[in-house]
């Protein structure tokens, strides 16, 4: 349920952040990227992106928007607090977003349905279509008010069009993408058709316009209603300019409401002073129309305030429809109907009540509004597909037809309603109404004008007629003209015991009401008799009295509005309380004859109907009575002019042919009477024969109609199935389009990543081959050409068909072995040119741990081989030295030994290398003497030590001799550990 402007909802303040909601669907990714490319880096607002994509996988939209915009972009989580200059996207799952307590909340379709009006009688969840953009617009408009900016971008369908009403109703700003720049123009076209857009721009231009608007909006302090910006005198001047340009006066509107509208227009045009806006308004004629449309907020929807419609359908309408015999039909006036949603809601429920109670009655609904553009929308009776979330399914299928993403009201309902531009303040009201609905119009007007309109409605209603007002409106606490029927839903009934003084016609003349309601018109008003010289007025009155006949101006129900001349002699007061009605006050045959003449005049398109009959039963004189239904001036359209001519004073015959059946003079010949009777009998016989033929034809027509109805029902069923299939196809197409856009971005990202990987691998100077499960070449690095004779065009060829430059190696067999055993192979290989490589063959595993081929790496080890050869030569040279000594590291392990030392220790060749020194010799005195000596040497406590040891004989059984060892630390250490020299003394 939307809040009215009278509700004390949250008002925007400077400390609150503006929120920009961007709605997009199919083709919207490019539009979003274009928008953020032109958006400022620091606008101080929150960006909320709502799209239609639905997927079980994580959406890539935040990543894509972050990359293209340079802003932080995240997917909304329930309870997340928004931050300025950050982009938030709706999750890929089907959910709805609102803002509560400054934090985002995610709602399921069931939860969201509690936020949307619905009729309790049918109990249907109204979230029947996924319109998250409409929902977000409506909910955030209530939550943040004028801080909201709604933007509709590329997409098919009509999502967003209905939600824009709520944005406009809270003084929010609206921008729509130019249809010609959109990949899919459905959503922009429907949004533009509402007439609510402030700007229609390409996405690239929206960012700059948005930044300017937000900057000026903050400067203008829109959150305070604009009171500090615009003085009362400036507001009066603006109203005068509006009246001159568009012909409507807004001085009786509430000042704060007008000031907020003007302040918003100032922000849109980047104006900071009211005087500057006055100057702009004076020189720009189109601005007056834009301001006029902003004043007329189209905050309406089908079955708005569902509790009221439950009450109307179940209680109010059945009671009033069965209360009286409405011979001329049930008459309804919907004042301020906007785009017709409420008028159609009333018509639908009245038809439902008539159908369910088996009542037959004509329904006449007069729907009026000041906004001619809104009236044209109402006359078409076409609405966006989003109304399925407002209208219950039974009523939607019964009274609407669906085509091209729009619902159209059935012709039978449209024909019950007459839509007309009408200014309820200055134009004559509709009369003889049984029901008047004027909801959320009075809240915009000051109290004096509200009282005037309440009196006007009392005059327009029949006895015990019903008045329905908005939830924040009332007839006034001291008013006795209406009795309260339902205080909760503001339903009132006309009090027939209160006399309502009929408003004279000059009350509406010249476009102005009483002095208290509107300021006086200036040069544009038409001159009236009161403005002419006194002598002219006297002459006109004299001529009218001398030559003009007595006359009356009455309404359709006979209420007398005006008397002229001696018309009073044809009237006489009835007994009891006086009633100014010609059917109650007319003399003689006047009350009996006049209704038929009025009916004839109403159907004769302005022709004057005349008839002579007796007015005074006691006399013999006849009076010629003429009746004309007035078509002009506009203010008197629909009234009847009755004039009287005495026959004795009329010298000429009537200029207009009298009606058939006119009474004849008493002295007509009897033969003429007999002839007329014979003609009448013949006419009756012909009529009876014709009636029988008509009845036969009607029977045939009824049979044909039944067949057509059956055929129509079948076609309707087929059409509904086709429309359902079309909707599903359209929804699928939108999802595929969105997925395709994301895939394009992903392919581009993967292409960039592939280039990065190729450059990285080539920079490592490693030979790498990627093979599939059939040993076909998938990818390779440039260095791999040293191993395999391969070119770019060889990708996809079996590796066995290519020349492999490895000497004596079974590369193919090794590759197949790895694929079959899933065990890697690592070994050194040599090329035909003599180069050495460390070959590793490993299974290629995907992220899902699936083996999808081989990865073969070849590391160049030529330098390692050369180093090993050098080390081998050095060790061989050291081994052949004649002096007995060995080298140990800090752990006591023998690193190198000479032949002479091996013989002295009675060891077998170089097998001692890698042994601990304590395993080769022993010290008789203590078991740890060697370790203590080595520790002292390496810690620097001793420079040289001498130690007596005995060799552990490994090749002889003879007694070991005692050897004297000298230990000293070498000044140069290896890369791994320090070394000590151990020699014989």
Model pLDDT for residues 701-749, shown as the tens digit of each residue? 888 888 887 787 778 777 767 766 776 676 677 667 777 777 777 777 7
Q: Rounded to an integer, what distance in angstroms lies between the CA atom of residue 74 and that of residue 60?
A: 10
User: Mean pLDDT over residues 865-879, rounded?
Assistant: 68
Contact between residue 756 and residue 46 where contact means Cβ atoms under 8 Å apart: no
The verdict on whether omega for the bond into residue 454 sits within 30 degrees of 0, i.e. cis, is: no
> Is 881 exposed, middle or buried, given 0-12, 13-18 or 19+ CB atoms closer than 10 A?
middle
Q: What is the pLDDT of residue 635?
A: 66
User: Mean pLDDT over residues 918-922, rounded?
Assistant: 74
Q: pTM to 2 decimals?
A: 0.54
- Residue of higher predicted confidence among 267 and 512: 267
Contact between residue 245 and residue 74 where contact means Cβ atoms under 8 Å apart: no
Structure tokens at 133: 């953009």
Nearest Cα to Cα of residue 422 among 638, 220, 276: 638
pLDDT band at 5 (very low <50, low <70, confident <90, very high): very low
Q: Rounded to an integer, what distance in angstroms lies between the CA atom of residue 863 and that of residue 860?
A: 8
Q: What is the pLDDT of residue 352?
A: 92
- pLDDT surpassing 90 at residue 346: yes
| CA 265 to centroid of chain Cα atoms | 22
pLDDT, tens digit (0-9, with 9 covering 90-100), for 202-221: 888 888 888 888 877 776 65
- Residue of higher predicted confidence among 931 and 88: 88
Which DSSP state fits 951?
E
Task: List the end-to-end C-alpha distance of the chain, in Å, as a whole number.
Answer: 108
Mapping DSSP onto H, E and C, the string for 715-751 reads HHHHHHHHHHHHHHHHHHHHHHHHHHHHHHHHHHHHH
- Residue of higher predicted confidence among 236 and 656: 236
pLDDT band at 228 (very low <50, low <70, confident <90, very high): low
∠ CA 641-647-648, nearest 5°, is 135
Q: What is the pLDDT of residue 655?
A: 39
Backbone angles phi, psi at 73, to 5 degrees: -130, 130
- Which residue is associated with the tokens 């550990």? 977
Contact between residue 489 and residue 307 where contact means Cβ atoms under 8 Å apart: yes
Positions marked active-site: 25, 52, 159
- pLDDT surpassing 80 at residue 249: no
pLDDT band at 419 (very low <50, low <70, confident <90, very high): very high
Q: What is the pLDDT of residue 651?
A: 40
- Residue of higher predicted confidence among 601 and 57: 601
Structure tokens at 706: 């039944």
User: Mean pLDDT over residues 413-429, rounded?
Assistant: 87
- pLDDT surpassing 80 at residue 477: no
pLDDT band at 870 (very low <50, low <70, confident <90, very high): low
Contact between residue 889 and residue 982 where contact means Cβ atoms under 8 Å apart: no
Distances in whole angstroms, Cα of residue 615 to Cα of each of 409, 580, 739: 51, 18, 85
How many helices (H) and strands (E) are present in the chain, helices listed first?
Answer: 27, 35
Which domains are seen in the chain, by residue range?
Answer: 1-219 (3.40.50.180), 223-299 (1.10.155), 306-511 (3.40.50.150), 529-649 (3.30.450.20), 764-860 (3.30.450.20), 871-984 (3.30.450.20)
pLDDT band at 504 (very low <50, low <70, confident <90, very high): very low
- Residue of higher predicted confidence among 234 and 957: 234
R_g over Cα of the chain = 50
Distances in whole angstroms, Cα of residue 619 to Cα of each of 594, 615, 872: 20, 8, 157
Q: Enumerate the H helices of 822-928 as residue ranges.
A: 862-879, 899-904, 917-920
Beta strands in 531-686 (DSSP E): 550-554, 560-564, 609-614, 622-629, 640-646
User: Mean pLDDT over residues 930-953, rounded?
Assistant: 76
Most confident segment among 186-190, 567-571, 705-709: 186-190
Structure tokens at 861: 């080890």
Q: Rounded to an integer, what distance in angstroms lies between the CA atom of residue 700 and that of residue 876?
A: 125
- pLDDT surpassing 70 at residue 576: no
User: Mean pLDDT over residues 582-607, rounded?
Assistant: 81
Q: What is the pLDDT of residue 12?
A: 37
Percent of the chain with pLDDT over 90: 6
- Residue of higher predicted confidence among 901 and 841: 841
Q: Rounded to an integer, what distance in angstroms lies between the CA atom of residue 220 and that of residue 262?
A: 11
Helix axes 255-268, 203-219, angle to 10 degrees: 130
Q: Rounded to an integer, what distance in angstroms lies between the CA atom of residue 618 and that of residue 357?
A: 50
Q: Rounded to an integer, what distance in angstroms lies between the CA atom of residue 783 and that of residue 765?
A: 6
Contact between residue 865 and residue 835 where contact means Cβ atoms under 8 Å apart: no
Q: What is the pLDDT of residue 344?
A: 94
Q: What is the pLDDT of residue 670?
A: 60
Strand, helix or coil for residue 577? coil
pLDDT, tens digit (0-9, with 9 covering 90-100), for 780-807: 888 888 888 888 788 888 888 888 888 8
Q: Enumerate the H helices of 827-984 as residue ranges.
A: 862-879, 899-904, 917-920, 929-938
- Which residue is associated with the tokens 């007839």? 475
Strand, helix or coil for residue 492? strand
- Residue of higher predicted confidence among 851 and 896: 851
Strand duo 491-494 + 482-486: pairing: antiparallel
Q: What is the pLDDT of residue 666?
A: 47
What is the enclosing helix (H) or strand (E) of 885?
strand 885-889
Which residues does residue 651 pair with via DSSP β-bridges, in sequence order?
Answer: none
Strand duo 894-897 + 46-50: pairing: unpaired
Q: What is the pLDDT of residue 888?
A: 80
pLDDT band at 617 (very low <50, low <70, confident <90, very high): low
Q: What is the pLDDT of residue 662?
A: 43
User: Mean pLDDT over residues 693-704, rounded?
Assistant: 82
The order of strands in the sheet holding 382-384 is 382-384, 406-409, 400-403
- pLDDT surpassing 50 at residue 54: yes
Backbone angles phi, psi at 512, to 5 degrees: -140, 150
Q: What is the pLDDT of residue 151?
A: 92
∠ CA 427-433-439, nearest 5°, is 70
User: Mean pLDDT over residues 955-976, rounded?
Assistant: 65
pLDDT band at 508 (very low <50, low <70, confident <90, very high): very low
pLDDT band at 417 (very low <50, low <70, confident <90, very high): very high
Beta strands in 61-147 (DSSP E): 72-75, 86-89, 96-100, 103-107
Q: Rounded to an integer, what distance in angstroms lies between the CA atom of residue 716 and that of residue 457?
A: 42
Q: Rounded to an integer, what distance in angstroms lies between the CA atom of residue 10 and that of residue 170?
A: 10
Contact between residue 89 and residue 49 where contact means Cβ atoms under 8 Å apart: yes
> Is 232 exposed, middle or buried, given 0-12, 13-18 or 19+ CB atoms closer than 10 A?
exposed
Q: Of 357-366, 756-765, 799-808, where does mean pLDDT reach its minimum?
A: 756-765
Which DSSP state fits 444?
G
Strand, helix or coil for residue 180? helix
pLDDT, tens digit (0-9, with 9 covering 90-100), for 627-679: 988 887 766 777 888 888 877 544 444 434 344 344 444 444 565 666 667 66
Backbone angles phi, psi at 775, to 5 degrees: 60, 35
């Amino acid at each position: 349920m939307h809040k009215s402007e009278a509700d004390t909802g949250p008002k925007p303040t400077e400390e609150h952040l503006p929120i920009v909601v961007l709605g997009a669907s199919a083709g919207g990714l490019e539009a979003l990227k274009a928008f953020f490319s032109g958006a400022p880096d620091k606008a101080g607002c929150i960006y909320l992106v709502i799209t239609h994509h639905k997927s079980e996988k994580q959406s890539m939209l935040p990543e894509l928007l972050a990359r293209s915009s340079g802003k932080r972009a995240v997917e909304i989580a329930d309870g997340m607090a928004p931050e300025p200059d950050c982009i938030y996207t709706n999750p890929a799952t089907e959910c709805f977003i609102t803002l509560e307590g400054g934090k985002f909340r995610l709602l399921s379709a069931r939860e969201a349905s509690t936020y949307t009006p619905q009729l309790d009688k049918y109990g249907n969840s109204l979230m029947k279509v996924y319109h998250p953009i409409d929902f977000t617009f409506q909910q955030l408009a209530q939550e943040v008010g004028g801080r909201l900016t709604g933007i509709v971008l590329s997409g098919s369908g009509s999502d967003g069009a209905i939600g824009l009403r709520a944005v406009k109703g809270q003084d929010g700003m609206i921008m729509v993408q130019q249809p010609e720049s959109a990949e899919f123009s459905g959503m922009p076209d429907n949004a533009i058709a509402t007439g609510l857009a402030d700007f229609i721009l390409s996405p690239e231009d929206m960012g700059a316009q948005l930044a300017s608007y937000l900057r000026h909006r903050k400067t203008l302090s829109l959150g305070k209603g604009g009171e500090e910006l615009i003085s009362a005198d400036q507001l009066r001047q603006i109203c005068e300019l509006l009246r001159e340009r568009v012909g409507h006066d807004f001085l009786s509107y509430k000042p704060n409401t007008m000031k907020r509208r003007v302040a918003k227009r100032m922000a849109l045009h980047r104006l900071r002073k009211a005087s500057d806006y006055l100057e702009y308004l004076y020189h720009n004629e189109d601005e007056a129309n834009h301001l006029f449309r902003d004043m007329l907020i189209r905050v309406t929807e089908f079955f708005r305030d569902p509790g009221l419609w439950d009450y109307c359908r179940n209680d109010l309408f059945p009671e009033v429809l069965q209360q009286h015999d409405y011979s001329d039909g049930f008459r309804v006036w919907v004042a301020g109907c906007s785009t017709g949603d409420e008028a159609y809601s009333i018509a639908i429920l009245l038809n439902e009540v008539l159908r369910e109670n088996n009542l037959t009655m004509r329904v006449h609904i007069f729907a009026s509004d000041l906004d001619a553009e809104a009236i044209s929308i109402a006359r078409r009776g076409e609405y966006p597909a989003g109304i399925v979330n407002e209208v219950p399914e039974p009523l939607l299928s019964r009274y609407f037809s669906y085509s091209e993403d729009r619902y159209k009201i059935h012709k039978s309902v449209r024909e019950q309603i007459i839509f007309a531009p009408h200014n309820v303040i200055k134009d004559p009201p509709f009369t003889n109404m049984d029901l008047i609905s004027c909801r959320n119009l009075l809240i915009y007007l000051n109290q004096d004008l509200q009282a005037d309109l309440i009196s006007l409605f009392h005059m327009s209603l029949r006895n015990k007629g019903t008045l329905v007002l908005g939830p924040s409106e009332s007839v006034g606490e001291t008013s006795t003209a209406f009795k309260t029927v339902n205080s909760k839903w503001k339903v009132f009934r006309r009090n027939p015991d209160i006399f309502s003084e009929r408003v004279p016609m000059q009350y509406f003349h010249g476009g102005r009401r009483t002095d208290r309601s509107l300021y006086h018109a200036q040069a544009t008003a038409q001159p009236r008799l009161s403005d002419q010289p006194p002598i002219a007025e006297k002459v006109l009155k004299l001529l009218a009295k001398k030559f003009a006949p007595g006359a009356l101006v009455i309404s359709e129900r006979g209420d007398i509005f005006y008397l002229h001349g001696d018309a009073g002699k044809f009237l006489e007061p009835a007994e009891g309380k006086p009633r100014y009605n010609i059917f109650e006050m007319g003399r003689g045959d006047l009350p009996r004859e006049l209704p038929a003449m009025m009916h004839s005049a109403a159907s004769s398109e302005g022709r004057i109907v005349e008839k002579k009959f007796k007015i005074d039963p006691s006399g013999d004189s006849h009076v010629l009575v003429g009746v004309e239904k007035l078509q002009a001036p506009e203010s008197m359209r629909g009234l009847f002019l009755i004039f009287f001519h005495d026959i004795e004073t009329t010298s000429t015959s009537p200029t207009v042919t009298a009606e058939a059946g006119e009474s004849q003079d008493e002295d007509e010949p009897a033969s003429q009477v007999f002839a007329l009777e014979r003609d009448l009998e013949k006419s009756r016989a012909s009529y009876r024969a014709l009636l029988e033929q008509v009845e036969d034809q009607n029977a045939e027509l009824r049979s044909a109609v039944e067949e057509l109805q059956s055929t129509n029902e079948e076609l309707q069923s087929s059409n509904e199935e086709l429309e359902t299939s079309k909707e599903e196809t359209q929804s699928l197409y939108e999802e595929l389009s969105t997925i395709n856009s994301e895939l394009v971005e992903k392919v581009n990202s993967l292409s960039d990543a592939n280039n990065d990987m190729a450059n990285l691998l080539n920079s490592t100077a490693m030979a790498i081959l990627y093979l599939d499960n059939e040993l076909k070449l998938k990818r390779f690095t440039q260095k791999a050409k040293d191993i395999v004779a391969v070119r770019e065009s060889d990708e996809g060829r079996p590796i066995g068909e290519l020349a492999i430059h490895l000497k004596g190696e079974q590369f193919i067999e090794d590759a197949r072995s790895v694929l079959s055993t899933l065990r890697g192979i690592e070994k050194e290989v040599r090329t035909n040119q003599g180069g050495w490589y460390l070959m590793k063959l490993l299974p290629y595993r995907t992220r899902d741990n699936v083996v999808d081929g081989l990865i073969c790496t070849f590391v160049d080890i030529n330098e390692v081989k050369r180093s090993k050869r050098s080390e081998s030569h050095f060790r061989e040279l050291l081994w052949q030295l004649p002096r007995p000594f060995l080298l140990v590291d800090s752990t006591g392990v023998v690193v190198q030994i000479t032949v002479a030392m091996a013989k002295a220790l009675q060891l077998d060749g170089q097998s001692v290398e890698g042994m601990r020194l304590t395993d080769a010799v022993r010290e008789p005195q203590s078991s740890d003497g060697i370790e203590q000596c080595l520790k002292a040497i390496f810690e620097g406590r001793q420079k040289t030590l001498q130690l007596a040891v005995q060799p552990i004989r490994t090749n002889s059984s003879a007694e070991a001799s005692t050897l004297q060892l000298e230990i000293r630390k070498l000044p140069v250490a290896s890369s791994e550990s320090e070394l000590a020299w151990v020699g014989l003394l």
